[in-house]
Each structure stands twice: as structure tokens, then as C-alpha cells.
Structure 1
């Protein structure tokens, strides 16, 4: 028999909480028809100074949990999750914006698509009274989560969801603030949990919103990026690296064209462009190498295979970081050869105006090559550490290896 616990976090919501609780309780027959005969309603009062707690206590069928002090939206939800007895947990806000009547629809979607989490999406085409600024913000957050996770999502910050209680260990830890929902979405996608979205109508809240668009928006974005970095650093850092190297390539191509046309002097913008290209080239390679190294550390921490590729699958076989050694040596060799050639040509009387570009290119190639070789050595050591536990277990079980002596 399927059981469902619905958690409502509430902070000074005396104007809306009764109506929202009643709508949840009235949805029980529809939930029973969908296959959920037992529904538990938990309201976590997060240190309210108004009559919220008293109104919950006076409502039959609702269970009240009180925080002595305001701990935050996420803290209230986590208290409710810990107290929930259902094998499925749903939650929604106490301000009347989300329709509890759609919980049966969310549960049916979970069964039909074998989902671990179902998000009630406010951005999937249903009627919405969301203010334009918040709608724009939610679009940007959803695009950011999609970018860092490699999977499309339309509403990363929805405050109405249904999920299996058994997945909590995978998506924890979660923050105590309003940023719990985008972090939950980001973690779920990186944990390869099955997440689906169901469109819902969205109403304007009862009373004054507690969301600060600028402050909470910045916190949402920071939380999404930071969470993604703890799972697949090379994806995010690699995308930044790709953008930096693309700019470097464009500037380098433009200057190479100028050189072939006999232009040896640079304008003020040309000097700035050259400076930017050199910095972005070194920064781009360093960021990609750093992301790849972090991926090995993440693999060691989670004891799972190393993630490869910027777009969810490897683009190279073998993976690009395994090829750093020969790419780095090639860069080192080309840089040293070009530097020596420039020196000999300078001694032969060539003016600096003809050589400065090639000398800078030689220095850049040498530095980048050295960075790649060093990174390759570090990653091979990290790879060895990531495999240590499995190899120890194999040796203890007496599995033969290629190095075992033949008797």
C-alpha cells in the first residue's frame, strides 16, 4: 500500500495556510483513486510570529512541527522530510501559489515514467501568474542547470515536487535556504536519478513574497554552479576553457593574416587583443586541466568511474586528458624550436619587428606544453589513487594479474 507524506514549510503564513491545508486534505480522494490511499500532511512552522502554528493545530488531519527559531525554507523542509513516514514525499509552499490538486497527476507521472522525482513545472506552458522578473530568473536558472548537467529541465526551482523518500541519501546535503530546490535539481541530475516534469498552473501568492530577487537570485546561481563543480568540474570549467580558447583562436588568426600581409606594427587595440589572447590561451588550458584533475578527485571521493567529456560523453578515445603527454611534448618541442629559430634569425640580422610575433608564439607554446605535461603526470597519479581500493580488493581475493609469476 503506497503512502505519501506532504510537507508544507510555513513562516508567517496565517493568511493562506488554512486554505492550502484544506486543499491538500480535499485532494485525498483523488490521490486514493490514483493509488495512494494513505496521505500524511505535515506542516513545519519555521518560527512564525503570527497565528500560523495555532491555525495548523486547529486543523484536523494536519500534523504540526515547530521550529523555535526561523531556520530557513530549506531547513523547514528537511525537518519535514525527516519526520515523514511515507515512502513518497511531496512538498509545496504555504502561500497558495501551487495547486495541491495536481499531486495525483504527479504521482501518475511518477509511475508511468518510473521517475524518482517529479517536478511540478511552472514553465512548461500552463497558465501562470508569475511576475515577469521572476519568470525571467527561473528561465535563466533552468538554462544554467541544463548547461552544467547536460540534461534539459524547464523549472529547476519549482517549490512543488514529489519524490521517493529513499533517494534522500543521494541528494543530501541540501541547503537551509530558498536555494534548496535548484540544488536538489542539480544533485538529482548529476546522481542520474530519473526526473520528469509535469506542467501546472501557478497563482500569485497570498501576502507579501519573502523572495529577494537580486540576493536570492545570486544565491541560486552560485549554488547551482558550486553543486555542479562537486560532481563534474571538467564540464563547467571545460566550457569556460572552450570559450577562452575560441577567442584566442580568433585573435591569433587575425594577427596571422596581418603578418602575411606585411603588417608588423600593432595599434592600441591590437596590443590589447594580443595581451588578451595570450592570457586567455594560458587560462583556457589551465582551467581545462584543472577541471580534469578535479574530476579525478571527485571520482576518488564518490568511489565511482571518472566522468569524461564536456557534453555527457567522451569526445575523444582515449579521453583527451590521457593525450596530454604527447600534446604537451609537441607544444614544448614546437615552442623551443620556434624560439631557437627566432634567436638564430635575430643573430642573422632579422629586425625585432619581424620576429616578435613568433617569439611570443614560441613562449606561449612552451608554457602551454609544460602545463599539459605537468597536468598529465598529476592525473596519472590521481587515477592510480582512484583505482587503489578496487585493486587492493582484487589482490586480497587472489585474482591473478599479468605480473604474477608463472609456476
Structure 2
């Protein structure tokens, strides 16, 4: 068993711990009881892909901790991340009689974590949520930081809340059920952390991509923990995305547009990777970073088997990107690289974003 890393997160609204290691499901009952001692019930929210694999085991360990458990399952996929699924989950929480002292357990990837977190935030104006991510992407990104949301027809994550979890358990053993493609897709967010805050992490990913088949669990625990530490530092300084936290959106303005325009056929990490490379190439051509910096970003993305560009037309990208929740009137903030390990926010006009798309997309 690999060493367990415990990361303390201290935000103004809640303090909690993230546990990173292998075979941690067995500890879930004890850890949950420690943070929610008054709870009598727990409802596990999962999707149709994950629930058959892990729901029974999760229910068993929670029951052993004295919790009365129920399960709600929705159809897997981004298409379920909507108001209708959210409404059904809320009705299920009420039907099972959960109180404010009780617990929602989000068992799954980013879609599950986002919608279950939002359900917990809304139900009775807020009950505890324990995040049990089952994808690498959810472990290093969506399970930590308290941003939860559903999609609207106009765009991704446009209806949501800030609601910090009470506990996050990142059990790397659960990654064994992921396909190579899904694992690789998740690496986009880890590359992002290297670009925005950790040149040493980026250098390690350059030298030895973590999509190699023989990546060791000890190394993976360390990289996952380091990614969470970077996010933790940013979230603690800016919980509600008023300024600094926006650096976590490197690649996301265009990445989300690519993801939505592809009708979510392209994974989140792959979409963000393409967005990072487009921004990096445009930044180099506008003199915001060096050509070497842009090339390094593109090369490490390529080395992890992720896309570096998109053939979606500029008008479509611009349309979806300008529906982004970070837009203010006719301006929006875009995160651009200065050098590996350091980025900056630039407030640009819609026409400025069009120029970035034109300069950064090479496939047209």
C-alpha cells in the first residue's frame, strides 16, 4: 500500500482534508464519521458507469460506520449534467428524509461531483458532501475547491454555487478501472498545474509523461497530491474566484468552448489541452511569452497523447467562449503564460479573443 498523503484545505467557509492514496475506500466510514459525527443517513449519488463498480462497497463501509444508506444513480455523461437531473436528485434526497446533519457522498467523476455537490449545496440550504472521485481528472480538479454546477443550453457550468466538501477521499486504486484514453484525458489538468505554478512539475512531465504504462503508484500519489496542493493554495487565497483563482482557468475559456462545440465528444482534459496550446501559440505571437515557452507547452501536451489544436471554426468558438461565466460586459479575463510556472490575467475585448483564436489555431 502506498503512503497516504493528507492535505489540509482551509477556506473562509470550511476547513477539510483531502486524503490521497491507495485502497482508501475501507477508511471511508471512519473518515466520514470523524467529520460528520451527528449524521444518521448518507445518500450515495453516482452514475450508471461507476455505481455498478463501487456503490455496493461504499454502502457497506458506510453502513459499518452506523449510517443508513441509500443510492441514487443517473445516466452517465455530460448530457445528464442539467437542471432536470438536479431536480430528480433533490427530490430523492427529500424522499429519503435526509436532514441537514446527513451526508451526500459523490461517487464518480467530474459530472457526478459537480451535480451531487450542487444538490448538497441546495438541499435544505446546505448539507455535507463527501467527494469520492473515481477519475484522475476529478481527483486533481473538480473534487477540491467547492465549485459545483450544472450546464445550461447556453454553455457549461452556468448554474452553480460555491460549496466546499467536508471531506475528499482520492483512492488511486479506483483508477485501475479507467481506460487508457480516459486516464490520458485527465492529464491535461495536471499539465495545467505545471504551467501555472510549478516549473519542476512541468519539467518532470516533459521528461517522463505519466501516461506511460509503467507509471508507478507512488509517483502518481505524489503528482496527484502536488496538483491538489497547488489548487489548495489558490483556493485558500481566493475561494470565490474574485481574482487569483482565475489562474486555474488557464486553457478553459477556449477549452470549454471546444468541449461544448464538440457536443462533449471530446473529453474535458483534451479540450483544455487544446485550449492551452491555442492560448500559448497566440501569446507567443503577441509577445506575451517566448516561442520556446509555447513550444514546450505544445510538446508536453502532445507527449501525453492530447490534442494541441481544433478544427472548430472561429465563429463557433467565439460564440461559445463569450457565453463563459467569467465574461464581464464586452470584456473577459484570459489566462496567458509568461513562462513555465508563471501566468497572468489579461482583460481583453471580444475582438481581442477573436484575434487570439485566429493567431492560435493552426488547423484552419
Relative to the length of structure 2, the TM-score reads 0.32
Higher relative contact order (CA 8 A, sep 6+): 2
Q: Counting helix residues as a fraction of each chain, which structure ranks higher?
A: 1
Higher Rg? 1
TM-score (norm 1): 0.29
